[in-house]
Amino acid sequence: MELVLDANILFSALIKEGITRELMLADEIVLFTPEYIINEFLEHIGEIAKKTHVEKHALIDFLKILFKESNINIIPLDEIRSFIVDAKKISPDPDDVLYFAAAIRIRCGIWSNDKKLKNQEQIPVYSTYDLKNIF
C-alpha cells in the first residue's frame, strides 16, 4: 500500500515506540512525503525534544536512520508544485495542502491522525488505527 506520510505520524513515531513505528517499518507500506516535512520537523524539534527527553541532535540522527531504514520516499517540491492548486480545493486544512498535492501526484491516500482531513471525499485518509486494522 502506498501512502503519503503526514508530519503528525512522523512526530508520533519519534516521540513514542509503538504501532506507528512498526507500521512505518512494515514492508507492506511504501511511504511518500513532501520535502516540506523536514521543515516541519525542524520547527517542532524543541517540542519533540521536551516530550521525548532526547536531545535535538539525537532526534536528527534518529530521523536520518528512520528515513534510511524505512520505506519513506521524500518528494521534492518541484514534483508536486503543479498539483497544489487542486490540492488547495480539496484540503480541509491549508497547512496540509502539500500532503494532498503529494497524494494527488502519487495517486494514493494519506496517513494522518488529523480527523479533519477526512472532511473531504477525493483522497482517502487513514489513521494509525485504520492501518492497524488493515495490517
Looking at the DSSP assignment, which residues form a beta bridge with residue 33? 74
Q: Which of 132, 129, 101, 14 is nearest to 64 (CA)?
A: 14
Residue 118, all three cell numbers: 477526512
CA distance 12 to 80: 25
User: For position 8, what pLDDT does the model report?
Assistant: 94
Of 122, 113, 116, the residue nearest 86 (C-alpha): 122
Name, in order, each residue with C-beta under 8 angstroms of 112's C-beta and a sequence gap of 6 or more.
6, 8, 9, 96, 99, 125, 126, 127
Question: What do you get for the CA distance between the two ends of the chain, in Å?
Answer: 10
Q: What is the CA radius of gyration of the chain?
A: 14
The domain total for the chain is: 1
Residue whose C-alpha cell is 477525493: 122
The amino acid at residue 44 is H
Q: What is the pLDDT of residue 25?
A: 86
pLDDT digits (tens, 9 = 90+) for 30-69: 999 999 999 999 999 999 999 889 999 999 998 888 888 7
Each residue's pLDDT tens digit, 74-101? 999 999 999 999 999 999 999 999 999 9
What are the two backbone dihedrals, phi and then psi, of residue 91, each rounded to the nearest 5 degrees? -65, 125
- The DSSP secondary-structure symbol of 102 reads H
Residue 71: the pLDDT is 80
**Domain boundaries, position 28:** 2-134
Q: What is the CATH number of the domain that holds 42?
A: 3.40.50.1010
Q: Per residue in 10-35, pLDDT tens? A: 999 888 889 998 998 888 999 999 99
